[in-house]
Amino acid sequence: MARDHTPSPRLRGRRLLTASVAALALGGTLLAEVPASAASRPTGHDVSSHQKNVDWPSAKAGGARFVYVKATESTTYRNPYFAQQYQGSHRAGLLRGAYHFALPDRSSGRAQAAHFVRHGGDWTADGRTLPPALDLEHDPYDKKHMCYGLSRTRTTGWIRSFSDEVRRLTGRRPVIYTTTHWWNTCTGNSRAFAADHALWIARYDASGPGPLPAGWSTWTFWQYDNGGGTLPGDQNLFNGSLDRMKRFAQGS
């Protein structure tokens, strides 16, 4: 996921090194390979402050049909480019939604959900606004604490608190973005969220999303590349037709 916090230069440096090697192998052409399964599925991307002011008409012309925009992190951070990215993508004709980067060790799920909804994470049933999304992944500030130093019980309790508050404020459960490894490790293979939360799975350099986190039998979004594609930011697919995605946006 596109992130805005302190370790990003180091993480992005590793990506750039890997990308440079790939570019040399491709004779200087740096493009992520689009999975074969993309043929009949809408393509999209996700962005944060790293992408700054995005050229949305170009993204639309390049095949983007939807985008998720980072809005907030913890209870203290707001993406300074959020308005240009969120409103600009809407004006260009993309379906768009907002996501929150969770830091469960900083404050409660309820507090972070309220901060998120107050600063861009709201939802309306207009058929063009995707439901809010919760980004759950390794601790970017301390690689020794992948699960933020929390027990599995506290982690699942935090997620439930965030989800309940988002639903109370917006009427929708958040989409959950994660990896299978993080989810199963940090929640203890919890199956408590799959029945009423859409899954946004992250898995790169693969022909498919692979084994899903505990409880889920299908995915809604798949982030198949983290920055090496033709669209600004990370590359994603929706698991269905464009009409199906519009219905999903409406809440049906």
46 is catalytic: yes
Rounded Cα gap, residues 45 and 226, in angstroms = 9
SS3 178: strand
Report how far residue 47's alpha carbon sits from residue 80's, in angstroms, rounded to the nearest whole number.
Answer: 12
In angstroms, the CA 76 to CA 86 distance is 19
Q: What is the C-alpha separation between 179 and 181, in angstroms, rounded?
A: 5
**Residue reference for tokens 């199963």:** 184
Please tell me the distance from the alpha carbon of residue 35 to that of residue 104, in angstroms, as a whole number: 33
Distance CA 96, CA 89 (A): 7
3-class DSSP state of 237: strand
Active site residue 135: yes
Query: Looking at 4, 46, 139, 234, which residue is catalytic?
Result: 46
Catalytic residue (choose from 135, 139, 165, 234): 135
Tell me, letter by letter, the H, E, C secondary structure of 121-138.
CCCCCCCCECCCEEECCC
- Told to judge if 234 belongs to the known catalytic residues of this protein, a careful annotator would answer no
| From 33, 55, 122, 137, active-site residue | 137
Whole-number Cα distances in Å, 236 to 26, 60, 74, 149, 165: 22, 14, 24, 30, 27
Radius of gyration of the chain (CA): 17
Active site residues: 46, 135, 137
